[in-house]
Amino acid sequence: MAAENIIGASANNTVSAPDDVTSTMERIFITGTFIMMWAILITAAFGIVGNILNLIVYSKLGFSETIHMTYVAMAVSDLGCLLTLMWICLVYFSGTILAQSDIQLDIPRVAGFTGSWPHNAFSRTTALLTAWVSLERCVCVMCPTRVKLIITPRVTKIILSAIFIIGCFPVAFVYVGLKTELRLDPTRNQTTLLMYYGNNNALSGPTTFAFSLYGVVYPVASWATVLVCAAFLIAKLKQSARWRHKNTQTISGRGTTGNRQRTAASKREAQVTRTVIAIACVFVFCTLPTSTTVLIATVNREFSITGSLRVIVSFYGIVSFFLSGINSCSNIVVYSFTGSKFKSTLCSLFVKNRSST
């Protein structure tokens, strides 16, 4: 689905319409696609390293705080997103290299079924995890004294496992009725690897169900949860900042040890809240093109890879993939700027490695 949006126009070197403007746009898009594929590949490589570092740092920090478990789960899901993005790029470059050989790839289909759909599964899982971490932080703010009784490590493990199952399992439905074929073109003496659905390429019931989940249900549910929770957290963060500013002089001048400890705890909670807000804001920004594409395609059927607006759709697709990569590799930057413990632990990794050499 998404891979066809990204590289469908670039994989077809023939222009069906004689319009010079359309031809020029498609040529520009083919060139732009090649450049963007390299950008996505570099972003994915950087993000893979970053998420591996996230896993190492939080394994060192431990899981006494349940939110660390969620951060680790997000790192695993983001790794899946980035690895599938890298695979899509490799399929595209392989198809370009094989263009003049005896073996060719149906690039949109091969990239879509082997890379794009698994990427959709991991990206939707990341979206659900972002919604959960936002909701978890809201519960911490609303019930600070009871949150450890409500969100225990066991509850967190169950919820995270359920999110991975809900997010990734439906991708299996996409391959129901899928067929592969090596088709020989005797006029050009070339064999093309094709992937398509049987029964005149009609979608089965389970496949349609997966389309609905990944295209509408999961994005809308994630967006709604993240937006509502982020707005609530921002309001509470401002309220907490005003309270701390108002009571700073009293606590520092004649406050008790208990007051100082409560203030320090409040600052730590505010720091975690800022981290979650930053993650939510990056998520909203990076998933905006994909969400708008789904909504526009629902209203206007010409807004598809086979419609009259296919070049625009393809442009939206490649931007969506690039921003998806940015979203998956940005957490290490967010953690470094908003988490003092994460930053110090991360720096200690490189300091130890340098001193040991």
Specify if 288 maps to a domain: yes
The tens digit of pLDDT for each residue in 69-128 reads: 999 999 999 999 999 999 988 888 876 665 555 566 667 777 778 888 899 899 999 999
DSSP code of residue 193: E
Collapsing DSSP states into helix, strand and coil, what is residue 179?
strand
DSSP code of residue 174: G
The tens digit of pLDDT for each residue in 165-174 reads: 999 999 888 8
On the question of pLDDT at 187 being above 90, the answer is no
Report angle CA 258, 260, 265 to the nearest 5 degrees.
95
Specify if 311 maps to a domain: yes
Q: Give pLDDT, residue 3.
A: 46
State both tokens at 317: 């697709």
Q: Give pLDDT, residue 31.
A: 78
On the question of pLDDT at 56 being above 80, the answer is yes
Query: Where in the sequence is the domain holding 315, given as residue range(s)?
Result: 2-13+21-231+270-356
Taking phi over 0 as left and psi of -120 to 50 as alpha, with beta for the rest, 31 belongs to: alpha
Question: Residue 58: which CATH number?
Answer: 1.20.1070.10
Specify if 245 maps to a domain: no
| DSSP notation for 95-116 | HHHGGGSSEEE-HHHHHIIIII
What amino acid occupies position 308? S
The tens digit of pLDDT for each residue in 14-30 reads: 434 445 655 676 677 77
Structural domains of the chain, count: 1
Highest mean pLDDT out of 136-150, 201-215, 240-254, 319-333: 319-333
The answer to whether residues 233 and 134 touch, using CB atoms and an 8 Å cutoff, is yes
Specify if 58 maps to a domain: yes
On the question of pLDDT at 8 being above 50, the answer is no
* Alpha-helical regions (H) of 173-309: 198-201, 205-212, 218-254, 257-299
Largest CA distance in the chain: 91
Number of helices followed by number of strands (H, E) in the chain: 14, 3
Question: Which residues, other chains included, contact 241 with Cβ-Cβ below 8 Å and sequence gap of 6+?
Answer: 270
When mean pLDDT is compared across 182-186, 294-298, 318-322, the lowest value belongs to 294-298
Specify if 113 maps to a domain: yes
When mean pLDDT is compared across 32-36, 146-150, 305-309, 316-320, the lowest value belongs to 305-309
Specify if 265 maps to a domain: no
Cα–Cα distance between 346 and 357 in angstroms, integer?
18
Collapsing DSSP states into helix, strand and coil, what is residue 195?
strand
- The torsion angles phi and psi of 78, rounded to 5 degrees, stand at -65, -35
Specify if 26 maps to a domain: yes
Specify if 261 maps to a domain: no
Cα–Cα distance between 47 and 77 in angstroms, integer?
12
